[in-house]
Amino acid sequence: MSPAVEQMSDQEFQVHALDVLQRELGLEGYARFLRLYRSGSGDYTRDRHHWLNGVTLDDVLKRLQQ
């Protein structure tokens, strides 16, 4: 990643990335990407802790063996 990109805010980076996509994919490819792209919602880290609360490594290994 170039140093300039590392210095960008998240909003600046998003605008830059979308500009790159439009330039590289053309308008039709850019529109297709935007149509297919779905940004998630919620807090995955918090939810993961909730889902995995009390799950042990032995639980995971037993599940893998099934």
Q: 37 falls in which pLDDT band (50, 70, 90)?
A: confident
Q: How confident is the model at residue 30 (pLDDT cuts 50, 70, 90)?
A: very high
Query: Which residues constitute the domain of residue 42?
Result: 3-65
> Residue 3: what pLDDT?
65
Residue 65 has pLDDT above 90, yes or no: yes
Q: For residue 38, is pLDDT > 80?
A: no
* Tokens 């297919």, residue located: 36
Q: Identify whether the C-beta of residue 33 lies closer than 8 Å to the C-beta of residue 24.
A: no
13 touches 5 (CB < 8 A): yes
Residue 9, amino acid: S
- E strands of the chain, at which residues? none
Count how many domains the chain has.
Answer: 1
Is 16:1 a contact under the CB 8 Å cutoff? no
Is the pLDDT assigned to residue 1 strictly greater than 70?
Answer: no
Does 42 have pLDDT greater than 90? no
